[in-house]
Amino acid sequence: MRKNVVLVLDFGGQYNQLIVRRIRDMGVYSELIPYSTEVEKILSFSPSGIVLTGGPNSVFSKESLIMDPRILDLGIPVLGICYGAQLIAHLKGGEVKHAPTKEYGKCPMRALPSPLFKGIPEKSTVWMSHTDYVAVPPDGYAVIADTDTCPVAAFEDAVHTVYGVQFHPEVVHTEYGNQILRNFLYEICRAEGNWNMSNFIGDMVDRIRAKVGDRKVLLAMSGGVDSAVAATLMHKAIGKNLKCVLVDHGLMRKGEADEVVAVFRDGLGMNLEKIDASERFLKKLEGVTDPESKRKIIGAEFIRVFEDYGKTLGKVGFLAQGTIYPDVIESGFGKAALIKSHHNVGGLPGVIDFDEIIEPLRDLFKDEVRKVGLELGLDKKIVMRQPFPGPGLAVRVLGAVTREKLEILREADAIMREEIAFNGLDGDIWQYFAVLTDMRSVGVMGDMRTYDYTVALRAVNSVDAMSADWARIPYEVLAKISTRIVNEVNGVNRVVYDITSKPPATIEWE
């Protein structure tokens, strides 16, 4: 049950999903929506508050993103962050200028008494990232914070509960950023803080039962945490009316398909059947090198397999999937840039042979999915299992996918996972895997010249997959992994380690 919703209007800033995460972590449900959302749609949410995000544009430019100005007159508390603050000032008749001195990074700030700064000392450190700034606030607005180079670091219209901050309270570099957001939620929006995973489960079970009734649901099972939690949630809601199917597309990790069957069917007693469709998928992928094409081919073929299988079951009303919030965002949100299509979002064909698709985890970040899994009683080793992309190893084999390349990658990946676990690092690293590049290079093995593939190792730490930092694996562990791969896996003579964070890279290479 959700009584409170704080909407975050997306103006294209790099921290937008982080704002949503911070608000949810404080016990209030939050949702990211396009800046262009109509007022009537916004009101349909009955929001307790609205946050306007940062963004790369200037309010002066032709490309500037301008929301409906009536949003500021709805009587709903508003907090503008960076570009969002400048937009409030611009729409309300204040003065926004190009800054003579750009501010990027930590900056000392002086704050005046305000509900937004309750419990925060007069002097603190904030994180700035802007070129324009508010020079003069609109009539009726008071300056409540400044820096040496930014005369209006924050402003307020306390009567109409509209606030703007030039800095970013959502990032950890802002010393009291969480307290500022908490003040907005609880002191200004008067939120109740009832967003938690227990409430989510109860609400979702009721919604699934109401939607499904006595019809059948077919669920795509991969063994990853998303589909595992989705399956368990669906099973709790509709029991025997749920049919789980594991499509072995030939793109899974070493021994993974059999492991999934052993854990979920034999161990947890779910109604699960495995379909071997590896030849079918590999034929579709033959000669395909573009990663977006791979994802869309795999997504479409998944649905075709389910359609064919569903016909053997009689009428199946719904297809259930483990889509989560980062999948939706990265597949193209509103006017946001498409980062990459996820096979279970952007890769779906236009016409499918089901009444509807159910995605019970669509609104959750990865860490929230894990919390749901633990609340449902799933074993920790299942809940904490590493993320694995829906297209599987197809997006970890760069270039054309062949059976030979898949076998090389499976063996290399298995060695990496074995050594990470053997050295006790599996609980410390969020995700780790091998990538088979499409590059061959010269090497020497046993006094013989080789010309074989390069394997790249990737290991990152993250909370929600929206951002990630590369993991600092000890050199001796990397050396052991590299030695084993080169010695034990035919076709590989070079191993490299990826030390790029997200952003600017993505976690997966494709």
Q: Say how far apart CA 127 and CA 107 lie, in whole Å.
A: 6
Q: Which tokens go with 308?
A: 């064919």
What one-character-per-residue DSSP string does 307-350 give?
HHHHHHHS---EEE----HHHHHHT--TTSPP----TTTTT--S
What one-character-per-residue DSSP string does 417-482 give?
HHHHHHTT-TTT-SEEEEEEEEEEEEEEETTEEEEEEEEEEEEEE-SSSSSBEE----HHHHHHHH
Q: Where are the alpha helices (DSSP H) in 109-195?
A: 177-182
**What average pLDDT does range 474-493 have in this prediction?**
97
Query: Torsion angle of alpha carbons 405, 410, 416, 418, nearest 10°?
Result: -160
Catalytic pick from 103, 170, 359, 411? 170
Q: Establish whether 359 is a catalytic residue.
A: no
> pTM of the entire structure?
0.70
Please determine, for residue 303, whether its predicted confidence score (pLDDT) is greater than 60: yes
Q: Which residue has the higher pLDDT, 196 or 74?
A: 74
Q: Establish whether 98 is a catalytic residue.
A: no
- Which one-letter amino acid corresponds to residue 373? G
Burial 489-508 (b: 16+ CB within 10 A, else e): bebbbbbeeeeeebeeeebb
**Which tens digits make up the pLDDT trace of 187-200?**
999 998 888 888 89
| Model confidence band, residue 258 (pLDDT cutoffs 50, 70, 90) | confident
Q: Establish whether 301 is a catalytic residue.
A: no
**Which tens digits make up the pLDDT trace of 98-128?**
876 666 778 999 999 999 999 999 999 998 8
Query: Torsion angle of alpha carbons 424, 428, 431, 435, nearest 10°?
Result: -50
Q: Say how far apart CA 489 and CA 481 lie, in whole Å.
A: 11
What one-character-per-residue DSSP string does 397-409 give?
B-SS--HHHHHHH
Q: Which tokens go with 355?
A: 């009444």
Q: What domains sit in the chain, N to C, each tagged with a CATH number? A: 5-188 (3.40.50.880), 197-383 (3.40.50.620), 396-497 (3.30.300.10)
10 Å CB burial of residue 163 (0-12, 13-18, 19+) is: buried
Catalytic pick from 82, 107, 189, 244? 82
**Which tens digits make up the pLDDT trace of 202-219?**
989 999 999 999 888 888
pLDDT for position 98: 82
Please determine, for residue 332, whether its predicted confidence score (pLDDT) is greater than 70: no
Catalytic pick from 90, 130, 168, 235? 168
Q: Say how far apart CA 494 and CA 441 lie, in whole Å.
A: 8
**Which tens digits make up the pLDDT trace of 336-390?**
333 344 444 444 444 345 678 889 998 898 889 999 999 998 888 788 777 788 7
Please determine, for residue 329, whether its predicted confidence score (pLDDT) is greater than 80: no
Strands 242-248 and 448-461: unpaired
